[in-house]
Structure formats: structure tokens, C-alpha cells
Amino acid sequence: MHTKDKILAEAMELFAQFGYKGASVRKIAAKVGIRESAIYNHFTNKEEIFQSVASTIFTTPFSDTKESAMLSERAKGGKKFLSSFIVQYKLVTFDKKKEHLFRIMMIELLQNKRLRESFMSEYHEKNSKLISQAFFIMMQEDLIRSGDPMVMANEFLAPLFYLRLQVTLLRIDEHSTAALSTQFEKHVDFFWESIAL
């Protein structure tokens, strides 16, 4: 099964670089060091390779149930909770493998219906719900001003997504992301000042 894993790893890199169409079966095989026909001993399709790679895209921070169970406790930390979320988000943003998966997502998002649906349910809604629950708790604890927790969650998450996209774009061309790196913290500071009581 060593070969199968290598196929997936090299396919991931090529999909991230050239997209689904641009990453040909021959290119993948060449990077693995085998002929293209040998690929079909491990996967029935090019599509199956892609699905296998794409299925690992949506693994969000705080996704496991243990962390979710502790949410109500953690949310009472107020700004501390948001800061720790940002730390997680930053780690994901600058992780090389996750970065490749994010690139694949971005490239195929407008071309692949399944990916769009996963993005909406696994990424957007999952994060929105989690963060909005945290804000709801913070409101009950009178840590923050009242308002629609869902709106608040989107206001908190959208700048993170936009930052991640910018980081990804800069890194493709090997530009420095130092200036952007500090903006994550600036975002929490600004946001907390916006909602804190």
C-alpha cells in the first residue's frame, strides 16, 4: 500500500498546482515513478484519486466532539477563547499540507458541485454554528454586547477566511507573509473591542 499513499501525496501536490484538469494521470505517475497504467491497479479512475484527496480537505479546528463538549466552558473565557481559535486557525493556514488542500478547494470550488456542498456544510456552516454558540454563551455571561450571534460569527470568521486566501496567494509566488501574519491578532483585538462590554 506504499505506492497508493505515494500516488495520493503526489496527486495532492499536482492538483494544488494545476487543478483537476491540469494534473494529468501521466504527470502523477511520473512523480510517483511508475507508468500511468500502473495507477489503475490502485484506483479505478482519475476521479477516484481526486475524491480520495478531496475527502481530507474539510477537517476544521475544534471539529472533534471532546472539544465541542467543553465549548460552554471555554466560551466563558471571552477574548481568550477567540484568541485560542485564532491560534488554531493560524496553524492551519500556515501548515503546508493544509495549504495545499486549501488551494485545491479554492481552485475546484466553482467547478465541482460536491466540493461546493462540502464547503457550505462542512466548512462554512460548521464554523459558523460553533462560533455563534460561543457568542451566545458570552452574551449570557454579559461578556459581550447583545446581537444576532450568527451575524457576529460571520463577522468574526469572514476576515479570517480572507486573510487565509491572501496568505495562500502570496505563498504561491513565494512572497513574504510577515505583514499578514500579524493581522490575525489585530483582527481579534479589533473584534473584541467591537463587541466587549
Residue 14 interface partner, choices a copy of itself, DNA, none, CB cut-off 5-8 Å depending on type: none
Cα distances (angstroms) measured from residue 122 to each of 30, 35, 156, 183 = 33, 36, 18, 25
Nearest approach in angstroms of CB 22 to a copy of itself is 6
**Sign of the C-alpha dihedral computed for residues 181, 189, 187 and 116 taken in this order:** positive
Nearest approach in angstroms of CB 8 to DNA is 13
Backbone angles phi, psi at 141, to 5 degrees: -85, 5
5 is an interface residue for DNA by CB under 7 A: no
Query: Binding mask 6-45 vs DNA (x if CB under 7 A, - otherwise)?
Result: -----------------xxxxx------xxxxxxxxx-xx
Cα distances (angstroms) measured from residue 182 to each of 86, 128, 173 = 11, 23, 20
Count of residues binding DNA (CB under 7 A)? 21
Residue 47 interface partner, choices a copy of itself, DNA, none, CB cut-off 5-8 Å depending on type: DNA
Residue 41 interface partner, choices DNA, a copy of itself, none, CB cut-off 5-8 Å depending on type: DNA
CB 52 within 8 A of CB 8: yes
Q: In a 3-state reduction of DSSP, which class is residue 11? A: helix
170 is an interface residue for DNA by CB under 7 A: no
Residues 94-133 interacting with DNA (rule: CB under 7 A): none
Nearest approach in angstroms of CB 17 to DNA is 13
**The residue count for the chain:** 197
DSSP, res 34: S
CB 53 within 8 A of CB 104: yes
Nearest approach in angstroms of CB 2 to a copy of itself is 30
Nearest approach in angstroms of CB 12 to a copy of itself is 14
Residue 46 interface partner, choices DNA, a copy of itself, none, CB cut-off 5-8 Å depending on type: DNA
**Sign of the C-alpha dihedral computed for residues 6, 9, 12 and 16 taken in this order:** negative
1 is an interface residue for DNA by CB under 7 A: yes
Residues that bind DNA (CB under 7 A): 1, 3-4, 23-27, 34-42, 44-47
